Structure 1
């Protein structure tokens, strides 16, 4: 959790009286912000000036003078400066006469010339002054990540150190800010962090004093209520009735959440009934929405966060990634508050880690891999904190296994294949022992299956085809045994993925019988799942990708008619997915698979005009993502350009075909470790432009690995 810190080289506590500005301070703070963040500025300005400093602190000395009862006045520039050429005398005078500078940080603020100028002017007037940052939107130092520059929230002057004379040094500053967003500290805790920085006191000390003041206020209210009850018995009866009503509502809501997260979830999840869970969860959250989060008991706060997390999982299953992210972020705000209250409670760390994990998963599904890696590392840190507090807990040790696997998944997405394999091998070794010790533990058995799957994918990416096939066969055998215990949709979901992956692996090895057997099995399992809950978009996604993989393999082996049947069915399912959302990265990828196989089928039928239209759609769709830094996307773009060239060649336009193939080769990255399938794409393009010697050399490498086809 972030702590408020100063941007300047010295901390507030270390500022001596000699270093205070010579101008007599008239303002407790200068509020600097982009006028697009006016709503937050309105709230913060009012909250600071209304805040009553705890009596025990009033009059004490601080780095900025005697502590007042109220922070008033706070200077806030309410005028637009767009037409001005300079900050102006009034602003500079106010900056010089302010004890602290508070900067509302957002992408708009980072781009604002005047916000940056105000920071510079304050630092020149107060070289060791109190500069406090408060994040409203965006991400700190995003400007250092290619492709994320627009998300930067810190203005340039906030990101570098200034010397004792108020001159920029060019050295990187690392300000730690209060995070006012619901996914960070939230407004209430963020406000306290800012105030703690202004007072020069520790956050915990200020929070404790706030709690003491709240308790005194409640005691006073209680005393007044007792007096009133003595004077008016009717009011007492009314108060008791209301108290009992509120207590009954709280018990009902907490009981619903407990039932939902316990018995009901265990009964409904295996049969895939999300609608019932959704209805119960909505009812419970309707109660919690009326409550002040800061006033909730520890138990109620935990229940609320658990309910939000589960509702996020339901939304994610239905393809509503934005709704899922919002639920997880709200849940994470609650679990962060729980950790703040008891930082050494491993169970609270556990609950918070679940939301951190899901936020990272959403980022990974959207292709935001840097954010996904950051979340995976935070999740891993939380898991190791749990085990350091309670090393005897198998449950917490499992969290370390999950976090290691999650980091491996991100490494795989970022093409760091050897690192991913090492992570997954360690994960498999751990979970295999645990699963063997507890064969009836459903969660452990599923995790064992998924760990085998990820290890197989990493080994396939390294070119270790036989090892990858062996791991996938182990997975299928495990899932087959588990499925015999009774219908469980998660076993079946994993079975679809495992069969599809095995089919692709056998196809790569040129073994058509085994390839088609597993791909047909994947389609069969998916088709049997969908009727039980047609609204489950995850099952539709699995069925669509399985059918398209089967169609592609059938076409490669010459079964054009059957390939067409599977392709049409798969593309119809893709249309259903995109009707639900166009924001899911993987659904867009499956749609491109649909366009590719349809174009190949049209080309095989010599319908060149249709093939050209479909190949053009594929190229445009792929170009939309292929211009980014993702190497995966560049290979997909090269494949689309190859297909465009193939169609042009069939139409007799050799010049245009060569142009497309050369463009495909130019798209391929250089000096990178390539997956076998990517090497196969390079071979196909080299052959088409007549560079046969280079193509044969790569084919020899693939043959040595056991690859016979580039499917």
Structure 2
């Protein structure tokens, strides 16, 4: 009964009363009993008139009541009609809850599986590590799952017990520190301290015993027997140490593989880049200490996987030199295994994956030929493997990645038709995978990246309407990914790149205000990502690029003051990055663009000396990489710097190259017209 129903004034009744009753039905479903029970009619009438009501979770603490449904019930049963939702709002909230039921159900299934595994399986490192990985997946699906924290505590406690029983006291201590229950944590730390003391005491007793035995042996048997006993015991100690070392190495291999294969993606998604850096450093130290000659297939395979993931972490942090060393080591290990076992499809799949990772690195380190070669080899391997297993989702995803990488390099060479063909194949593969597994974030994110790249190719073909359509399609997909998990860094980064691509397309189409809005969306995202990890070079590079794009649009729109501020910020960020990483082509390119634009702003303001200084530095920054790589964007930036400086004769061969490729960027076209170069025939 709603409060207004206790009044004899019928004018107080209305649709809001029905909403209150709907809330009462929802309350009954959640709790299993009416909102007010166990009282006579008069008491029920009095309580209804006051609107007093106990919350569902307090009423039924043994039930797992979703928090959003509890809030909806209490909202609908608010004492004042003005504080209740409308019927449409009530239905929309229920529909929203049901739309996320699949994720909650999947999360609950995972926690049940983890709980069952803890009850039925051996509690070894591998089982417990898999449990932690599964809980991380369950958290991503439903953060409010009440079982996650309970199971995590149980796994950590069992991990500590297992580590103690194996004598891994340092590992036990690290796991104990992660426990939330302070009493359990203190008890386990006390037990670990006790074990450490016992171990030290046993070690001292053992050494004392050996010393006494040695003295007794010398006294009884003389020098000859002493020598024999010493040699025998030394051999035993060596064998024991060897066995312990082998055991410790196997455990370290498994732990490293878990940390890099399972823990790393979750840390990256949560933004814990400091921990990622620690994982990468420790893994590099560990694998660098191992002998290169190995005959054990599993050990070599794990080493290759770990080195691959180390390289990924270092690449994402902008430490390209260290990343290249790790990826090349991983590639060499797996290539040797493929030579030994050429018919093993799993090893060939790993080789294709390592080639793809190498291609990504070569893109960043200004070696386009090596990048294209690595991508092509990866694509050929994936295609041959798919002939053997055409239904494999892993292989289809890998092929889509390889096609995406190959298309990027062809796009940079202005081979637009072939690039479009590659990207169309990749889109078909990814759209089928997403249709099969719509909840897979990895598939949807790669599809977003390919939509972004496809829009860029269409833009450079001057098909601006198609470019805008496919890029906006990517933005819709990206917004849905970010809405699912607003903290996921790779999703935010991919969406930011898509907005940036849309800004470029709108700029080429003449919609400067729309381009500025898109670039400011990108800037906002990249600023938040950089603030979360201010030492990450890649995040800083993206932020500097965003400031440059915003400054360029403000300059085009006549906001010289705003443009100058944005461009100065861009240069302040990118300058040190380029000085530290001179081979990073994209940072050099973005810095040069910012210098061109700030020079133009100075020129408009009448400060010709500052303009010349900025344009000269832009030409110096771009000269080497533009001429070496031949990338059209790099050539465009370099030749604009030359034309602004009046070095027309130097610019003519590059102008001919761009015109032969039908290059039509607005700034380039404008400068060509000013210098009477747009009518030049391509160079012979």
Q: TM-score range by the shorter chain?
A: 0.5 to 0.7
CA distance in 2, matches of 1:282, 1:595: 36
Give the drift of 1:310.
1.2
Q: Which residue of 2 aligns with 1:490?
A: 490
Query: In 2, are the aligned partners of 1:405 and 1:427 still within 8 Å (CA)?
Result: yes
Q: Which residue of 2 aligns with 1:220?
A: none
CA distance in 2, matches of 1:309, 1:433: 28
Give the drift of 1:390.
2.9
* Counterparts in 2 of 1:458 and 1:485: CA distance versus 1, 3 Å: same
User: What does the per-residue CA deviation read over 1:559-582, in whole Å, with 9 as the maximum and x for residues that have no partner?
Assistant: 111111111111111123124322
Structure with more strand by fraction: 1
Give the drift of 1:471.
1.0
CA distance in 2, matches of 1:269, 1:454: 23
Query: In 2, are the aligned partners of 1:461 and 1:675 still within 8 Å (CA)?
Result: no
* Counterparts in 2 of 1:689 and 1:233: CA distance versus 1, 3 Å: closer
The 5 A counterparts of 1:24-423 are 234=233, 237-423=236-422
CA distance in 1, matches of 2:659, 2:590: 25
Query: In 1, are the aligned partners of 2:588 and 2:622 still within 8 Å (CA)?
Result: no
Give the drift of 1:552.
0.6
User: What does the per-residue CA deviation read over 1:597-647, in whole Å, with 9 as the maximum and x for residues that have no partner?
Assistant: 1101111111111112222222333333444471624333321122223xx
The 5 A counterparts of 1:535-550 are 535-550=535-550
The 5 A counterparts of 1:524-603 are 524-603=524-603
Give the drift of 1:555.
0.5
Query: In 2, are the aligned partners of 1:661 and 1:685 still within 8 Å (CA)?
Result: no
Matched, 1:450 2:437: no
* Counterparts in 2 of 1:438 and 1:661: CA distance versus 1, 3 Å: same
1:674 alignment partner, one of 658, 661, 668: 661
* Counterparts in 2 of 1:641 and 1:672: CA distance versus 1, 3 Å: closer
CA distance in 2, matches of 1:501, 1:691: 28
Q: Which residue of 1 aligns with 2:43?
A: none
CA distance in 2, matches of 1:640, 1:453: 28
Matched, 1:641 2:642: yes
* Counterparts in 2 of 1:675 and 1:565: CA distance versus 1, 3 Å: farther
Give the drift of 1:260.
0.8
User: What does the per-residue CA deviation read over 1:272-303, in whole Å, with 9 as the maximum and x for residues that have no partner?
Assistant: 32332332343344343333333341111111
Structure number, greater radius of gyration: 2
Task: Tell me the TM-score normalized by structure 1.
Answer: 0.60
Query: In 2, are the aligned partners of 1:256 and 1:280 still within 8 Å (CA)?
Result: no
User: What does the per-residue CA deviation read over 1:644-686, in whole Å, with 9 as the maximum and x for residues that have no partner?
Assistant: 23xxxxxxxxxxxxxx3465345312586535534x4553234
Give the drift of 1:427.
0.8
* Counterparts in 2 of 1:511 and 1:390: CA distance versus 1, 3 Å: same
User: What does the per-residue CA deviation read over 1:14-52, in whole Å, with 9 as the maximum and x for residues that have no partner?
Assistant: xxxxxxxxxxxxxxxxxxxxxxxxxxxxxxxxxxxxxxx
CA distance in 2, matches of 1:626, 1:496: 26
Taking only aligned residues, the RMSD between alpha carbons, in angstroms, comes to 2.7
Query: In 2, are the aligned partners of 1:567 and 1:598 still within 8 Å (CA)?
Result: yes
Q: Which residue of 2 aligns with 1:512?
A: 512
CA distance in 2, matches of 1:416, 1:455: 13
Query: In 2, are the aligned partners of 1:493 and 1:539 still within 8 Å (CA)?
Result: no
Q: Which residue of 2 aligns with 1:481?
A: 480
* Counterparts in 2 of 1:280 and 1:635: CA distance versus 1, 3 Å: closer
Gaps of 5+ in 1: 1-228, 646-659, 698-711
Task: Tell me the TM-score normalized by structure 2.
Answer: 0.62
CA distance in 1, matches of 2:455, 2:466: 7
Give the drift of 1:361.
2.1
Give the drift of 1:516.
1.6
CA distance in 1, matches of 2:340, 2:677: 66
Query: In 2, are the aligned partners of 1:602 and 1:610 still within 8 Å (CA)?
Result: yes
* Counterparts in 2 of 1:621 and 1:243: CA distance versus 1, 3 Å: closer
CA distance in 2, matches of 1:593, 1:445: 32
* Counterparts in 2 of 1:661 and 1:281: CA distance versus 1, 3 Å: closer
Give the drift of 1:588.
1.0
User: What does the per-residue CA deviation read over 1:409-456, in whole Å, with 9 as the maximum and x for residues that have no partner?
Assistant: 121122211110111011111101211221221210111111111111
Q: Which moved more, 1:300-309 or 1:665-674?
A: 665-674
* Counterparts in 2 of 1:353 and 1:440: CA distance versus 1, 3 Å: same
CA distance in 1, matches of 2:368, 2:677: 35
Query: In 1, are the aligned partners of 2:283 and 2:310 still within 8 Å (CA)?
Result: no
User: What does the per-residue CA deviation read over 1:139-192, in whole Å, with 9 as the maximum and x for residues that have no partner?
Assistant: xxxxxxxxxxxxxxxxxxxxxxxxxxxxxxxxxxxxxxxxxxxxxxxxxxxxxx
Query: In 1, are the aligned partners of 2:492 and 2:525 still within 8 Å (CA)?
Result: yes
CA distance in 1, matches of 2:394, 2:229: 53
Q: Which residue of 2 aligns with 1:688?
A: 674
Q: Which residue of 2 aligns with 1:147?
A: none
Query: In 2, are the aligned partners of 1:343 and 1:349 still within 8 Å (CA)?
Result: yes
Looking at both structures, which has the greater relative contact order when contacts are Cα pairs under 8 Å and sequence separation is at least 6? 1
CA distance in 1, matches of 2:534, 2:629: 36
* Counterparts in 2 of 1:675 and 1:454: CA distance versus 1, 3 Å: farther
User: What does the per-residue CA deviation read over 1:371-429, in whole Å, with 9 as the maximum and x for residues that have no partner?
Assistant: 22211121112212322333332211222222222221121122211110111011111
Aligned with 2:293: secondary structure? helix
CA distance in 1, matches of 2:558, 2:251: 63
Give the drift of 1:498.
1.2
Query: In 2, are the aligned partners of 1:496 and 1:542 still within 8 Å (CA)?
Result: no
CA distance in 1, matches of 2:325, 2:435: 37
Query: In 1, are the aligned partners of 2:522 and 2:546 still within 8 Å (CA)?
Result: yes
Query: In 2, are the aligned partners of 1:526 and 1:539 still within 8 Å (CA)?
Result: yes
Number of aligned pairs?
453
Query: In 2, are the aligned partners of 1:599 and 1:612 still within 8 Å (CA)?
Result: yes
CA distance in 2, matches of 1:269, 1:579: 27
Q: Which residue of 2 aligns with 1:619?
A: 619
* Counterparts in 2 of 1:296 and 1:512: CA distance versus 1, 3 Å: same
CA distance in 2, matches of 1:670, 1:245: 65
Structure with more helix by fraction: 2
Aligned with 2:290: secondary structure? coil
